[in-house]
Amino acid sequence: MEHTLNAVAIIQARMGSTRLPGKVLADIGGQPLLQRLIERVRATPSIDRVVVATTTESTDDVLADWCTAQEVPVYRGSVDDVLDRFWQCAQLHPAEFIVRVTADDPLKDPQVITQALALCASSPEVDYASNTLQPSYPEGLDIEVVRFRTLERAAREATQPSEREHVMPYVWKHPDRFVLRGFSMQPNLSHWRWTVDKPADLDLVRRIFAHFANQPLVGYQTVITWLNDHPELLAINAGTIRHEGYFKTLAEEQKQ
């Protein structure tokens, strides 16, 4: 795909994870997780800029300092209203297409990001594109692309805690208001976990990067082939439901 899109990737990151504090700077083969992620996102030809959106909490001072030292643009905003933090960051780094990247996914793949961007740009009326509408990729390869105009509307109209905390639900919950596009892969591997939320997840990701130490930008298909040949590794972090954090927020919201 030619580099013709005006696109910025915003990585939402914070140190205060409940289950695995400090995970975004955890060491993976001699580099912080966030560094691994940034390198892979930057390898996407259609991405112009990569920005980190973190919080104003003092616990995130170390994260902001790391970004500054690495010359990675960083914005600091709300802890719980992640949609507002994301939107404020997007206004400082405006682009036609905004790529949402979660900081606990060091195996994000340039090919998948490119596919999502191409789909969102395929027609002027498309507002949002992702591979999460019908999950089929390993969790950790999730990618969402939204137009600037669409993010602006979501930030203005979304009211539910689950919509504010998780950024994109307002958009994909309203296909009557937005034009959505999705893509999938075969076979369906949505039960695989390449995200880092718990110690077992970090263990698996470290093993993957150790095996592909000479290929830091290894493609997801190559990783899938290797893991299929080593099914014992998939058992390391099996058993956690997909998007556990979102469903927890939703359950708390429904109690109110």
pLDDT in tens, 163-179: 999 999 999 999 999 99
Per-residue CA distances from 89 to 11, 38, 114, 203 (Å):
10, 17, 22, 32
Q: Which of 142-146, 200-204, 245-249 has the lowest mean pLDDT?
A: 245-249
Name which of 240, 212, 1 is nearest 120 in CA terms.
1
pLDDT in tens, 16-43: 888 899 999 999 999 999 999 999 999 9
Strand 180-182 versus strand 128-130 pairing type: parallel
Residues with Cβ < 8 Å from 12, sequence gap 6 or more? 53, 54, 82, 85, 86, 100, 101, 102, 103, 167
Q: What is the pLDDT of residue 242?
A: 60
Checking if the pLDDT of 7 tops 50, the result is: yes
Residues with Cβ < 8 Å from 192, sequence gap 6 or more? 138, 139, 227, 234
* Interatomic CA distance for residues 173 and 238, integer angstroms: 28
Summarize the confidence of residues 121-148 as an average pLDDT.
97
Q: What is the pLDDT of residue 253?
A: 57
* Interatomic CA distance for residues 24 and 32, integer angstroms: 7
Going from N- to C-terminal start, the domains of the chain cover: 7-255
Assign domain 7-255 to its CATH superfamily.
Answer: Spore Coat Polysaccharide Biosynthesis Protein SpsA; Chain A (3.90.550.10)
- Residue 226, Cβ neighbours under 10 Å: how many? 14
**With the CA atoms of 89, 94, 100 and 106 taken in that order, what torsion angle do they form, in degrees rounded to the nearest 10?**
-80
